[in-house]
Chain A
Amino acid sequence: DVKVTQSSRYLVKRTGEKVFLECVQDMDHENMFWYRQDPGLGLRLIYFSYDVKMKEKGDIPEGYSVSREKKERFSLILESASTNQTSMYLCASSLFGVGQGYGYTFGSGTRLTVV
């Protein structure tokens, strides 16, 4: 089974801090994604990557950046955390160029609270 591991389940950070959310997948997937989930807003795509050192903006990239130095790892960076970035963050991965029956495999999520 594909495993997508997010380094923290719960995080509490202060406003203005630089925050790193890490995601690692173990099945050699080319594609990786970062979403945030908020009540009533569903899953919103922040950034995605189709290859190492490659990144594309999603629907809500403002206030975020990403890093993909290795194929298995995709990091989400909050440059200066703000309270409106309090959310559930979900990482996902998928195979390149294939509409797999299961689509994406998600990690368990990181619940980030910015105080």
Chain B
Amino acid sequence: DQQVKQNSPSLSVQEGRISILNCDYTNSMFDYFLWYKKYPAEGPTFLISISSIKDKNEDGRFTVFLNKSAKHLSLHIVPSQPGDSAVYFCAALAYSGAGSYQLTFGKGTKLSVIP
């Protein structure tokens, strides 16, 4: 059973417009959420994160919103740029026993920003 879901496999947005990527989760034990960006033939790189005690975190053009009651988070990119075209993975962190943490990833959303 998928605990972190990204229901849109792909998204196309015009350059300069807002991109909104969505993520839903089912496990209420998740206490930290992250977004990773991945270009082809490269490893994922950390983009932005949010703690479960917050509802918003902003970093430049990137903002992540968390709605804990709905178990939903979203990543907003404003304005979108062609260089933002990549696969975006939503990930959730929970204590996994043995004194450590483990990330659970969604399947990813491929964002295409059209010039």
Contact = CB atoms under 8 A, between A and B. Distances in A.
B100 A31 contact: yes
A53 B49 CA distance: 31
A50 B98 contact: yes
B113 interface: no
Tell me whether chain A's interface is mostly helix, strand or loop, or mixed.
loop
B101 A98 contact: yes
Contact of B46 (A37, A50, A103, A111): A103
Name, among A90, A106, A107, the residue most crowded by chain B CB atoms within 10 Å (CB to CB): A106
Chain A contact residues (Cβ within 8 angstroms of B): what range? 20 to 34
A92 to B, nearest CB: 8
Interface-centre pick from A40, A42, A96 (highest chain B CB count, 10 A): A42
Interface of A: 4, 9, 30-31, 37, 40-43, 48, 50, 90, 92, 94, 96-99, 101-109, 111
Interface of B: 6, 9, 31-32, 34, 36, 38, 41-46, 49, 89, 91, 93, 98-103, 105-108
